[in-house]
Amino acid sequence: MTGCRMEKPMSQQNIGWIGTGVMGLPMCMHLLDADHAVSVHTRTPNKASPLIDKGARWCKTPSEVTSDSTIVFSMVGYPRDVEEVILGEVGVVSQARPGTIIVDMTTSTPTLAIEIHRRAQEKGLYTLDAPVSGGDVGAREAKLAIMVGGDRDVFEQVLPLFQLLGKTIAYMGGPGAGQHTKLANQISIASTMIGVVESLQYAYKAGLDLESVIDVIGTGAAGSWSLNNLGRRIIQGDFKPGFFIKHFLKDMEIALAEAARMELDLPGLSIAYQFYMAASSMGYEDLGTQALYKVFENMNNLNPPSKTSRRNS
């Protein structure tokens, strides 16, 4: 594949996209479907094939993505990846033209978001930290929640593109505020998933039909996205990743570190982290977060979830 060079009508945005994983690929596809010109880079070229087939141009390095782009998005795995693709030797900041907007949608550290903002400002660039929630389903259906930190006027410029990716888009404050909001989201989810797993296992032992249980309690005070979506995946024995356990562990580690920096004790998150560490040690780190069920399943010597949807006789 050659480097990206393109000429697009002025009515279209020239967009750069870095990272085409479980969520990054469908998110980028929405921009292509809206007839924007997209230059794409990812570590594994064949993962970008659906985008290239749709008309995206392949770029060999993150910096090359900037050659035709006025806005560059990144959606990668870990803070170290964010630092590499944005601040690295062949990262976005190294070659971006003044005025380019850099939008990192990875869940990363607030500290790194602030550092990226500072480094970008020195070169006349603009940045937003805009992590998302909603998993693979939200990414595919363009129903993500997007929480954004940075300068408000830059947020307003990018808002029409965010609206192609998500349903709930919120400006949360200055640089790093988006990341702090996402960490609050992950803290809530961590303990919620324990409740979902224990609830389903209790219902199973009581001889209830698990789908019926979710149908009822999912509409009341116990209702949550995790119960109504991931709970049903558990029942079906579907542990494919909408969000990897290994990435969730990363998020919890960031949250615990930020809490420690603020001298804040989060015992619920600490407990959830230990259970997810157990899931990782059992070889489940590349499964979805709903695979926490398997840890409790082993503890309680239960049958696989695909065999647990049964009615009380």
Amino acid of residue 107: T
CB 41 within 8 A of CB 61: yes
CB 266 within 8 A of CB 255: yes
SS (H, E, C) the chain: CCCCCCCCCCCCCEEEEECCCCCHHHHHHHHHHCCCEEEEECCCHHHHHHHHHHCCEECCCHHHHHHHCCEEEECCCCHHHHHHHHHCCCCHHHHCCCCCEEEECCCCCHHHHHHHHHHHHHCCCEEEECCEECHHHHHHCCCEEEEEEECHHHHHHHHHHHHHHEEEEEEEECCCHHHHHHHHHHHHHHHHHHHHHHHHHHHHHCCCCHHHHHHHHCCCCCCCHHHHHHHHHHHCCCCCCCCEHHHHHHHHHHHHHHHHHCCCCCHHHHHHHHHHHHHHHCCCCCCEHHHHHHHHHHHHCCCCHHHCCCCCC
| Residue ranges for the chain with pLDDT beneath 70 | 1-11, 305-313
CA pair distance 103, 85, nearest whole angstrom = 12
pLDDT at 9: 37
Contact in structure between 126 and 150 (CB atoms under 8 Å): yes
- Residues 60 and 66 sit within 8 Å (Cβ to Cβ): no
Q: Is 167 a catalytic residue?
A: no
Q: State the catalytic residue, choosing from 8, 60, 143, 182.
A: 182
Best CA proximity match to 19, nearest among 67, 56, 68, 53: 56
Pairing of strands 71-74, 57-58: unpaired
Overall fold of domain 181-307? N-(1-d-carboxylethyl)-l-norvaline Dehydrogenase; domain 2 (1.10.1040)
pTM: 0.89
Task: Give me the pLDDT at residue 11, please.
Answer: 47
Confidence at residue 239, expressed as pLDDT on a 0 to 100 scale: 96
Domain residue limits, the chain: 14-174, 181-307
Identify the CATH assignment for 14-174 out of 3.40.50.10800, 2.30.110.10, 3.40.50.720, 3.30.230.10. Answer: 3.40.50.720
pLDDT of residue 306: 59
* pLDDT value for 44: 87
Decide whether 14-174 matches 181-307 in CATH topology.
no
pLDDT score recorded for residue 307:
53
